[in-house]
Structure 1
């Protein structure tokens, strides 16, 4: 399987804007620190350690030369001189041999530096131990008939203050990243508020306290969003006002007709005319409701159980000949506009009761508890799969699947979906387990 950089980045790259922006800052800092540490180790630390090792080995070489020149001279005098002049502890071990060579340390810079200098300056068999003692380095040189053991202070052969430099380097980087993170979060916060405002507006909720803030580009995007929101609200208000005016103008002659019919003697023709006028009034109500949509009502938290119980109770009272069951009720609450959402559910339930003898109403929640689904099942004739989306078009009637004599204006499903989408959700139609149609409303929790 070939390695794909794009697939790797897509899998492991953070999805949020803040972690991605922080990663842009962190990665160059980390790379810079690695390069600086490498150069420091290779050049400065290695050079200083090499020079210190060379000086110590030079002192050891001088002691070896003195011992070899005097050959059996006063070893205590050499030891005293080494302690006073070189701060070394020197002992001569007659008849001893060098210990066996151990494993090379993992961090072998000091070991390698001492070994290199001993090979060049002393030119005799030696043994070095840089790990047994914390403050000393054990160096042994094989001489004729004896071993010279030298305990040199570690600070004389090793740059022990290196960790201070590393701590300062890492510490300043951490402080830099913390300050960058604080400033970066302040820059991203207006973007998050803009996203939240857009989501709230998409769910049909008011966002009165939203104001442009942040960088110039973010302020421009926020101002454009506010302008777009105002344009949409003006268009909806104009549409509602116009249709409300049309509805009022049409109700006036209809009212006169009803009064005139009331003055006439009762008869079959008069009753039919009254029925037609009532249907026209219902049509006007539906048109106005569709035009008004979900605007003008404030959203509030509502518990699903009592809300669905009320819908169920109203449906049973209106449709006594239909078997209506309430199943799978949840205890969750959702943010809805009660009147608009009640109309949405009533449209779905009435549509099901109008074409079926059995209707099931219920609710369920997603595994992540992010979406609530309210469903309406019926055992009617259903709708062909190819036309499940077409029925949401305003004034669309599906005469083959639904009886045209049942009445209606063709706006029920259109109004229901408009309200559902105004709450940030949607309505999906599918085949029901009862054999008819299943309508599902999804809402964010």
Structure 2
């Protein structure tokens, strides 16, 4: 049952809380109102019908006591006027059967008619039209016709209490709705602040609302401060270590440059160059946490510039332009580093790569596909961790590295509130690793 109702229920906490408040209250009010009306109007109707039965029996006895039909007719009319009936007379014959039609909201009319039938065994026909009731009672001189308002024997307008309950419920519901909205607003602000922090943005947030919400807000602020402090310490650590290593490497390069005739000098110089490349990767990984403001950027132009830069470096990269879209809010330098890393990763483990942009729903994806060996599905999550190398899967002969390439890309996408997705390409001539830089974009941009 829960699975069947889930698609029709609201997903937001605000509307779910509104349902939790209003549905039970509405059901209780409806059940209590109907139960009260049923019992109250049943009792009133039986009492009023019982009073009218006394009048009907009295009139029937008086009419039967008359010696002839003319005197009986005069007596019936006189008694009808005396008891406030609309009409009272003697009919010689019964009318054709008349179908009674009660309004759907008349909760007591049918009960009144049933009580009349039970208390007047002389009743031969009954007609109910437009809130007026007509009875034909068998007498000694014919059929005594009594015509009167239904309100004479039945409590009228039973729906008025329902209307009053409904109106009061609406008014109180609006008041409760406003109060609930004010209570939910601090939680919505907390959710927005947490979502912005997940995108790498720090927005101003002040705890408010109920005690529990304030406690959650304060815990979020403390957690955000700890995370920012940890990121800052990690960045400083990597930057400091990388810069400190450059000094001895520079001395080593200088010493090796003076030993060009030595046979081991070339190999050592290659090792020094590789160590400097690793240091550059460490610095690049540290720079992914640097704060860069968001800016409206032409994504296709950004991708095209990185492809052109890769081609100038001698890399075989194909770009498929043609994406039509509005500028995207992102960090241009961080996004450029992510694309550069994917291109470098593609041509390192393959021979060529292709790049294109596609749109799906509220997301935009920059796709990079190579013709390399790819990554097995069970290793893809581990491949995005820092300092993890999958040489056995990707080919150790392709070169060494620090295992930071995909980690840098994953961090860059998390700072945009997006994600890095790894899969297997299906394009003919490629079919290697397919990496997607997925960016969330509101309003389909």
Q: Which category describes the TM-score, using the shorter chain as reference length?
A: 0.7 to 0.9
Contact kept in structure 1, 2:330 and 2:416, CA below 8 Å: yes
CA contact (8 A) 1:327 1:360 kept: no
**In 2, distance between residues paired with 1:28 and 1:166?**
17
Give the CA RMSD over aligned residues: 2.9
The 3-state SS of whatever aligns with 1:86 is coil
TM-score by length of 1: 0.86
Structure 1 residues 278-287 or 392-401, which shifts more? 392-401
Alignment of 1:254-293 (within 5 A): 254-257=249-252, 276-293=271-288
Q: In 2, distance between residues paired with 1:74 and 1:284?
A: 123
Change (3 A) 1:67 1:355: same
2:410 is equivalent to residue 417 of structure 1: yes
Q: Does 1:109 align with 2:101?
A: no
The TM-score with structure 2 as length reference comes to 0.86
2:62 alignment partner in structure 1: 66
Residues 148 and 195 of structure 1: CA distance in aligned 2, closer, same or farther (over 3 Å): same
Pick the aligned partner of 1:359 from 309, 331, 353. 353
Farther off after superposition, 227-236 or 174-183? 174-183
Asked whether 1:309 is paired with 2:297, we answer: no
Cα distance change on mapping 1:246 and 1:103 into 2, 3 Å: same
Task: Note closer, same or farther for the CA distance 1:166–1:38 as it changes in structure 2 (3 Å cut).
Answer: closer
The structural deviation recorded for 1:77 is 5.2
Q: Which runs of structure 2 are paired with 1:45-444 in the superposition (5 Å)?
A: 45-70=41-66, 71-72=68-69, 73=71, 75-76=73-74, 78-93=76-91, 95-100=92-97, 102=99, 105=102, 109-120=108-119, 122-130=120-128, 132-134=129-131, 136-144=132-140, 146-207=142-203, 209-257=204-252, 276-319=271-314, 322-327=316-321, 329-366=323-360, 369-400=361-392, 401-402=394-395, 404-406=397-399, 408-433=401-426, 434-444=430-440
Aligned mates of 1:304, 1:341 — CA distance in 2: 9
What 5-or-longer segments of structure 2 have no aligned partner? none
**Contact map agreement 2:49 2:115 (CA 8 A) in 1:** no
Query: Residue by residue, what CA displacement relative to the aligned partner does 1:228-266 show, whole Å, maximum 9, x if unpaired?
Result: 110111111112122222223222334445566677889
CA gap of 1:242–1:192, structure 2 versus 1, over 3 A, is same
Change in Cα spacing, 1:289 to 1:67, as seen in structure 2 (3 Å) is same
Does structure 2 conserve the Cα–Cα contact (< 8 Å) formed by 1:429 and 1:439? yes
* Structure 1 residue runs without a partner (length 5+): none
Distance of 2:376 and 2:16 partners within structure 1: 47
Instruction: Indicate conservation of the 8 Å contact 1:137/1:154, yes or no.
Output: yes
- Change in Cα spacing, 1:15 to 1:159, as seen in structure 2 (3 Å) is same
- 1:92, CA displacement in angstroms? 2.3
Deviation at 1:289, TM superposition (A): 2.0
**C-alpha contact 1:347 1:413 (8 A) present in aligned 2:** yes
CA-to-partner distance for each residue in 1:316-346, whole Å, 9 max, x for gaps? 22235x1513256241544322111110111
Question: Cα 1:385–1:8, aligned 2, differ >3 Å: closer, same or farther?
Answer: closer
